[in-house]
Amino acid sequence: MAPKFQIKVFQLSRFVKNFTIISVVTLSFLLVFFSKTDYYLISGIKNLSSSVIIPITRFISAPVNVFSNFIDEYKQFRSLKFENKILQEEIIRLKKWQTLAIQNSRENKVLKKLLNATDNNLILVKTASLINRNDTIYSKLINLNAGYEDNIKINMSAINERGLIGKVIDTTSNNSRLILLTDPNLSISVKSISDGIFSLLSGSGDGKYLVSSFVKENKMPRLGDIVVTSGTAQIFPVDLLVGKVAKVEKNRFFVLPFVDFKNIDYVQIVTSK
């Protein structure tokens, strides 16, 4: 009886082993295939990863986060005196600007009434805060605490007080994922304010500058020109601030984004009217 039993157990374990391997390999290829065809299952897995896995990973990596915050506070503490001096000078400078801005605002209101112009072309969908970021390895992605239940849809634009941050590439019920402007895989159509030169920008590998991948009629903008969204691709609303031309080469130019991508806490999801 004993040898027969042993053979049975061996056969069963071998069957389980082969079955597991074959099913895992088949499942993985199916997942890769469905990922390309945007199947319901994939959005379910993404939903699960946003709502369950991200909180778990945040909990596990909390000690590193505490350490990172401690370094940040230490650095801030060291530069307090220097920052205070700069801020005092900034206050004096801003007071002068404030007076000028009030005058310009009044003038602007009067001119708008004369032209019968509308204020802007944006609808604010939701203001969301950042949950976590995955922008070190591979893509430059961030996760927000608002999803399709808050009317956020794929391809909506994300901005903050400084300008364009990126666009929504994925939404779940309570979370959404943004791809940042600095990602090399995202292209945006822009124009320069002074010359109206149209071009396409995408992130450079360093994550600091945006680099032109196409310039209409090969006309290069001037150094220091402000670049805004052109609205021609129908993804980003027109005239959102993007950045400033920082470097011009023979066939391409570099733009320094206005948004400080290292300090994003809140973002506004907007869409065109």
Partner 1 sequence: MEFSKFFNSTIKLNIILIISFSISVNSFILLPNINNSFYVLFHLTYIYIIFYHYHYYLYIVALIFGILFDILLLNNIGAHIITFLSLLMLFVLLRKYLIRLSSFQIIVIYFITLVVLFFIEQFLANLIHNYKFNMSSIYNLTLIALIIFIPSVFLLIKLDK
Binding piece for partner 1, criterion CB under 8 A, among 45-53, 78-86, 111-119, 239-247 = 45-53
> Judged by CB under 8 A, which of 37, 84, 116, 136 binds partner 1?
136
The distance of closest approach from Cβ of residue 196 to partner 1 in the complex, given in angstroms and rounded to an integer, is: 29
Binding piece for partner 1, criterion CB under 8 A, among 66-74, 95-103, 158-166, 235-243 = 66-74
Three-state SS sequence of the chain: CHHHHHHHHHHHHHHHHHHHHHHHHHHHHHHHHHHHHCCHHHHHHHHHHHHHHHHHHHHHCHHHHHHHHHHHHHHHHHCHHHHHHHHHHHHHHHHHHHHHHHHHHHHHHHHHHHHCCCCCCEEEEEEEEEEEEECCCCCCEEEECCCHHHCCCCCCEEEECCEEEEEEEEECCCCEEEEECCCCCCEEEEEECCCCCEEEEEECCCCCCEEEEEEHHHCCCCCCCEEEECCCCCCCCCCCEEEEEEEECCCCEEEEECCCCCCCCEEEEEEEC
Residue 174 as a binder of partner 1 (CB under 8 A): the answer is: no
Binding piece for partner 1, criterion CB under 8 A, among 40-48, 82-90, 151-159, 221-229 = 40-48
The distance of closest approach from Cβ of residue 201 to partner 1 in the complex, given in angstroms and rounded to an integer, is: 14
Residue 52 as a binder of partner 1 (CB under 8 A): the answer is: no
Residue 169 as a binder of partner 1 (CB under 8 A): the answer is: yes
Distance in angstroms (rounded) separating the CA atoms of residues 201 and 221: 13
The candidate with the shortest Cα–Cα distance to 214, out of 226, 227, 197, is 197
Residue 36 as a binder of partner 1 (CB under 8 A): the answer is: yes
| Binding characters for partner 1, 95-134, by CB under 8 A (x = yes) | -------------------------------------xxx
Among residues 35 and 173, whose Cβ is nearest to partner 1? Answer: 35
The distance of closest approach from Cβ of residue 35 to partner 1 in the complex, given in angstroms and rounded to an integer, is: 4
Residues making up the chain, counted from first to last: 273
Residue 21 as a binder of partner 1 (CB under 8 A): the answer is: yes
The distance of closest approach from Cβ of residue 240 to partner 1 in the complex, given in angstroms and rounded to an integer, is: 23
Residues that bind partner 1 (CB under 8 A): 17, 20-21, 24-25, 27-28, 31-32, 34-36, 42, 45-46, 49, 53-54, 56-58, 60-61, 64-65, 67-68, 71-72, 75, 132-139, 141, 169-170, 177, 179, 184-185, 205-206, 262-263
